[in-house]
Structure 1
């Protein structure tokens, strides 16, 4: 007599094929005992990148409505701002308007990525906006890449209900015009309080083109600390360097990973006004400073490194862009060596990523010698790594 295997064992067998889509589809078709485990992997992450992919997935949902239960991550690529053969792609956007209805069915959706999207093509009328924003409310991770809103209040509506996010990434978020703050809040029909609470963010990424002031107002509240553990900031607003400093200080002891890219003008402004102080982050483990273009003799790298007081520090990465190797001499290496020679940097790995614009001048041996000889104090304390591209 053949005894039935426990469902837990059958699920583990299917789980071993998690990265083999053909095998998962075969398991899904072979027997109903394999269906839950197979569909958990097949439909965990769904990408909709055009009318055909949207139609295919709608057909799947029509035949098996329970598939919506397995979707945890959705990526929408609308191609509204893509380029092909040097010309603007005028793509059909009718299918995008069906996406909010789909999102409303994914009750376990935790991650949403929107890419190359004109927000107005979602057609969020009064009857459709609440289910969509309710889905935003449940999200743990939200990624906005090259998303164009019609007005600022549209992104404020999203931020108003995104109170459960642990990761937020934005890269190129725009709108046509600033609009007044709404007198009402979409938070009310979702059962939230009048003053939306701040999300429990652990990771924040803000790349060029993203409106720093709007997002930092969303995050920064008087007397409150952020619990951000990882911050990736590409700051371009010279007039908002004080906001940058407030954001980093508010992370306090929680911040462990910092990526900071500053343009020359922003870096000079932070130094002149003493806006940024990394001594407020005593538990930093990894720091990357980027954006320095030589032969500009920017002192901000040395100044920021000298501010680091963390005893948990493991690695520092510094990125330079220079026309050729000889421009490395323009950097103030003595100040950097003095900062890195402090005992607290003993055992820390310091990596320099050097990008040279002129390939004929791309002599890695010369680059290595310049930096190696310029940091005698640090060489006796830490691990020096030099890369050149």
Structure 2
């Protein structure tokens, strides 16, 4: 006689194998009763890399109502060029997602309206390489009531160009915001939401020509009661100086991070001087592609930052951290002599693109 185990014990055994796909597939052929629990882990994360893979999924599970997509919590799709009538039903079958990532989502003119609210449990949304109006982006965001985290990389067009109207209801957006690229219109749209945003982390990385200080300051002000981490990364073209940012309303800011890649660093000093020193714990600066500086004015700007950071450390116990790559060690030491002497400056192995996109406080 075979020993009997309660279903709860069997479920615990399968759950223990959640990171073992080979073992989970073996469990599926042990007994029909093991299939639902095994599928919950096998299909918890689904990654489709191309159009052919997307079509293969649709062919393998032609009936969306009987698809294992309802087990999926993390869905990553790359190369989806359009949401056709044939593909839409199975996309909407992923109705219990918590995280959605779409890369290279279609050509110019593809509408996001078909995806509105298809998973009401969604908490994290990541979209890259889409070419739509900002009202379409904001409309999609507002269709997910539990949404917390956003990551957007796009060339979204101006919200005023298509009859923009502020949505009457929006999610609280209490998690993190990461924007990469031409971000000013998206920032403006998010700032105008009636029910938010309330981000605890904000990261913006863009060309200095594609942003202005008012849009950043407005967003920081909107999140002044919840914002704990702010990351600003600018790369410059034609030696355009990045905009100064007013942080005086960020009363709970604990971690301030910058990425610098340009001819001047005065904008960082100006931003730090407006921050609330009582709440700040750490200021981190990422520097890449450092070049020899000849004008005396440039040296004075670096020395001013050096003096300010040391003063914040000695007077307010705010930890300074300077990370650099692609720069001569002796040049960095001459730019930041006091910080270097105290051991707050660290060189790293870099590449021609400098540091990765995600700053320290945004990395899992």
Q: Determine the C-alpha separation between the residues in 1 that align with 2:84 and 2:222.
A: 38
Offset, 1:16: 3.0
**Map 1:222-261 → 2, pairs under 5 A:** 226-236=197-207, 237=209, 240-261=212-233
Q: TM-score, normalised by structure 2?
A: 0.78
1:304 alignment counterpart? 271
1:164 aligns with 2:146: yes
Q: Determine the C-alpha separation between the residues in 2 that align with 1:238 and 1:145.
A: 17
**Map 1:277-296 → 2, pairs under 5 A:** 277-293=246-262, 296=263
Say if 1:153 and 1:298 are closer, same or farther in 2 by CA, change over 3 A. Answer: closer
1:89 alignment counterpart? none
1:13 alignment counterpart? 13
**Map 1:38-77 → 2, pairs under 5 A:** 38-62=38-62, 65=66, 67-77=68-78
* Unaligned ranges ≥5, structure 2: 351-364
* Unaligned ranges ≥5, structure 1: 81-92, 186-193, 357-366
Offset, 1:340: 0.9
In the TM superposition, what whole-angstrom CA distance separates every residue of 1:329-365 from its partner, at most 9, and x where no partner exists?
9443320122112235536141222334xxxxxxxxx
In the TM superposition, what whole-angstrom CA distance separates every residue of 1:115-160 from its partner, at most 9, and x where no partner exists?
1122679788xxxx56x313155421111110123x5554343244
**Map 1:120-269 → 2, pairs under 5 A:** 132-135=115-118, 137-149=120-132, 151=133, 153-174=135-156, 179-181=161-163, 195-210=168-183, 212-221=184-193, 226-236=197-207, 237=209, 240-264=212-236, 268=241
Q: Determine the C-alpha separation between the residues in 1 that align with 2:110 and 2:343.
A: 53
Say if 1:30 and 1:229 are closer, same or farther in 2 by CA, change over 3 A. Answer: same
What secondary structure is seen at the aligned counterpart in 2 of 1:98?
A: coil
**Residue 156 of structure 2 contacts residue 186 of structure 2 at CA under 8 Å; is this kept in 1?**
no
Q: Determine the C-alpha separation between the residues in 1 that align with 2:164 and 2:232.
A: 33
Say if 1:32 and 1:159 are closer, same or farther in 2 by CA, change over 3 A. Answer: same
Offset, 1:228: 0.8
What secondary structure is seen at the aligned counterpart in 1 of 2:212?
A: helix
Offset, 1:284: 3.1
**Residue 320 of structure 1 contacts residue 355 of structure 1 at CA under 8 Å; is this kept in 2?**
yes
Q: Determine the C-alpha separation between the residues in 1 that align with 2:158 and 2:189.
A: 20
Over the aligned positions, Cα root-mean-square deviation in angstroms equals 3.6
**Residue 166 of structure 1 contacts residue 203 of structure 1 at CA under 8 Å; is this kept in 2?**
yes
Q: Determine the C-alpha separation between the residues in 2 that align with 1:213 and 1:340.
A: 33
Offset, 1:177: 10
